[in-house]
Amino acid sequence: MDCYGEELEHYPQFMIRLGLIIWVCMFTSIFANAEDGYQLWLRYNRIQNANLLQRYTNSIATWAVFGNSQVVESARNELRLGLQGLLNKQIPESTELSPTGSLAVGTPHDSPLIRSLGAAQQLDQVDAEGYAIYTTSSGNFPVTVITGNSDIGVLYGVFHFLRLLQTQQPIENLSIVSNPKIKRRLLNHWDNLDRTVERGYAGCSIWDWHRLPDFISPRYTDYARANASIGINGTVLTNVNANALIFRADYLDKIKALADVFRPYGIKVYLTARFSAPIELDGLPTADPLDPRVQSWWQEKVAEIYKLIPDFGGFLVKANSEGQPGPQNYNRTHADGANMLADALAPYNGVVMWRAFVYSNAANEDRAKLAYNEFVPLDGSFRKNVLVQVKNGPIDFQPREPVHPMFGAMPKTPLMMEFQITQEYLGQGTHLVYLAPMYTEALKFDTYAKGPGSEVAKIIDGQLDNHALSGMAGVSNIGNDRNWTGHLFGQSNWFAYGRLAWDPDMDAAEIADEWIRMTFSNEPDVIRAVSALMLMSHEICVQYMTPLGLHHLFDTGHHYGPGPWVNDLSQREWNPTYYHQADRQGIGFDRTATGSNATSQYFEPWHSRFESPTECPEKYLLWFHRVRWTDTLDSGQSLWEALCRQYDAGCDGVVRMHAIWNSVVGKIDSERYNEVDMMLHIQEKEARWWRDACLSYFQSISGLPFPAGFDPPQKTLEYFKSRSFPYAPGTKPRW
Ligand code: GCV
């Protein structure tokens, strides 16, 4: 048979194949455009507004990025991707300036053109990681310059510039200077080596330990891009409940592989250090920080790490907390432990981030006071490369806590803020809760440590006490779910955390506005609606979970739903009853002078305000005070009625949030619309569950009737108590 005959004979098959190929192409192009949330806020979709598109295209008729480093290459790639997508055409990369406008990007060091455009002067106020974006001209040709003193500054500037286009801002007369206020802007992954994630609600760990170092998922680069776009410059890859295995040579090779992917985006890797690693890995008889054998072990381990990863960031340590080993096992202090590691890291400029999340039930003391009691006396005894990492509140990432009293109380030690991005106590992967209002509530809190103007933001950025080291950590909500964070709005919390780590003075509304425009739409209706629902969401969650200063009402282990009745756990402070102390007369934890005196850990005037039941802000009332059910609050309602009304308001709030979301139907893509819609259905049900379970229980204690017109719980207390969630995500088998 000749070839022609063969072709004819195979014609039907050929057509089937062709059809298949066309179908696959169509499918993949649909899939590539599917709004599955993978692109996060780095969506570079074509700008729809034709006028704006024309203006942008004129201003960026040509563009050039100068320099050759890996970081500059990332900037070039990002700009190419962004411009191509947003302007929907390939803009010539050229050093020729256009009469309508051009974009010139790079450090003055790398480019005579940038130098000639006045960069040195613009960079006067710019630090090592900052950048300047400004409009100038060469001859009569307008030029937009993105420059920095370093390549990473240039990359951050590029992301800022793309954000201007994504959020549809004018770019004709730019004069922007931006410096990060905080030096170490870190994510903390609580990721285990078996790929489970402690308190992770977005699938498994994105670190594919088993296949590293040879298999490099493209996701690692996208992770780095997303982080660099919001200024995050470090990542702690492993859980604070640490595994010593990470220090074994084969695991260090895996860490090196990740560090190599992140370096072009200015991201350093850090590891959690298990204090007993010398015993567990190499059979040393002790991990005593003052023992010379232990000191040499760590020095050698650190040298081994830096040989592989010259820009390694350092260690994060959870010691003598929740069963983790630490220096106290050898009658040494936290400072002894931190300093031993700090000495090993110092020759390489590495840092130790030593966590202050400690609470020992041996001391018969209010849990809220323990970290302060243990750490404040150590102020001044830490090495220069140690930061003490403090959670935002004194208990544990509750929906609302007063600020941790350690902020301002250790002026000789740089304190890092630890926020939780993953929503362990805020509806986990199911509830829409925008956390920026909670973060800013803490950051803007004036501690009065040095009189008025001693805001937490100024303490952690080093201003107040003149610290060169500064840091912020966010416990990551990232997993291998296609959309990264499980709930699509979890992305906004990752974004907001990064923006606040760069500038803790930013406003929650401003950040929401940026995120909505970059993630969903620039349409005013959509922005208005989604922003309203985001900004109301945290307060509403507090109302339906833990109103009026209540805290830790969560069910055992998984912390998923309510369990205010739980009273059978071996450690006193694991039981919700310890925190609410409800009895027939009243409810609340007396932390005033007549109780645990935790109020005394705050500076004046907060000490006195928290001490007084009438001056204490109502949102913290039951945190600091025991109040009788029948006592009257400012509103004129009894405490019992106010509590019922708060839970009700929380439920109504979620219904309102849902209605607001429904108002954007058809204005955003149906994939993401439907996903969030289903989540809000669940959130409505669960808000009602919180309300009914908590109020059924509190009523069984107070014996009071529900207020007039109150819709009573739909199920019995026994029903609520009987619910169990053995496979709730984010928990480990030991729970
Ligand atoms: C990593 C809480 C969480 C724990 C977490 C701990 C911590 O207790 O429930 O899962 O452990 O905080 O921050 O160390």
Three-class secondary structure assignment of 445-484: CECCECECCCEHHHHHCCCCCCCCCCEEEEECCCCCCCCC
In angstroms, what is the span from residue 418 Cα to ligand 1's centroid? 12
The pLDDT score that the predictor gives to residue 438 is 98
The pLDDT score that the predictor gives to residue 361 is 63
Q: Does the CB atom of residue 357 touch ligand 1 within 6 A?
A: yes
**Residues of the chain whose pLDDT is less than 50?**
1-12, 14-32, 733-735
Identify which of 266, 263, 237, 271 has the alpha carbon closest to the alpha carbon of residue 345: 271
Rounded distance between C-alpha atoms, residue 339 and residue 294, angstroms: 13
418 classed as catalytic = no
Identify which of 684, 702, 705, 687 has the alpha carbon closest to the alpha carbon of residue 647: 687
Bridge partners of residue 147, in order along the sequence = 132
In angstroms, what is the span from residue 566 Cα to ligand 1's centroid? 19
Q: Which domains does the chain have, with CATH numbers?
A: 50-178 (3.30.379.10), 184-506 (3.20.20.80), 543-589+626-722 (3.90.1330.10)
The pLDDT score that the predictor gives to residue 254 is 98
In angstroms, what is the span from residue 575 Cα to ligand 1's centroid? 15
The pLDDT score that the predictor gives to residue 9 is 43
Mutate to test the pocket of ligand 1, among 239, 389, 396 (most ligand atoms within 8 A of CB): 396
Three-state SS string across 500-544, please? HHHCCCCCHHHHHHHHHHHHCCCCHHHHHHHHHHHHHHHHHHHHH
- 559 CA: nearest ligand 1 atom: 9
The pLDDT score that the predictor gives to residue 151 is 98
The pLDDT score that the predictor gives to residue 20 is 43
Of 288, 396, 441, 641, the active-site residue reads: 396
In angstroms, what is the span from residue 194 Cα to ligand 1's centroid? 18
Question: Which residue has the least CA distance to atom 13 on ligand 1?
Answer: 357
Task: Calculate the CA 289 to chain-centre distance.
Answer: 32
Rounded distance between C-alpha atoms, residue 656 and residue 63, angstroms: 46
In angstroms, what is the span from residue 382 Cα to ligand 1's centroid? 24
The pLDDT score that the predictor gives to residue 732 is 67
The pLDDT score that the predictor gives to residue 34 is 79
In angstroms, what is the span from residue 291 Cα to ligand 1's centroid? 29
291 classed as catalytic = no
Mutate to test the pocket of ligand 1, among 197, 275, 355, 357 (most ligand atoms within 8 A of CB): 357
Residues 11, 15, 18: CA angle, nearest 5 degrees: 135
Residue pair 202/481 in contact (Cβ under 8 Å)? The answer is yes
Q: Does the CB atom of residue 692 touch ligand 1 within 6 A?
A: no
The pLDDT score that the predictor gives to residue 24 is 40
- Can you tell me whether residue 285 is helix, strand or coil? coil
Residue pair 264/74 in contact (Cβ under 8 Å)? The answer is yes
- 420 CA: nearest ligand 1 atom: 13
Task: Calculate the CA 401 to chain-centre distance.
Answer: 17
Residue pair 465/411 in contact (Cβ under 8 Å)? The answer is yes
Question: Which residue has the least CA distance to atom 2 on ligand 1?
Answer: 396
Mutate to test the pocket of ligand 1, among 322, 417, 555 (most ligand atoms within 8 A of CB): 322
- 199 CA: nearest ligand 1 atom: 10
pTM (2 d.p.)? 0.95
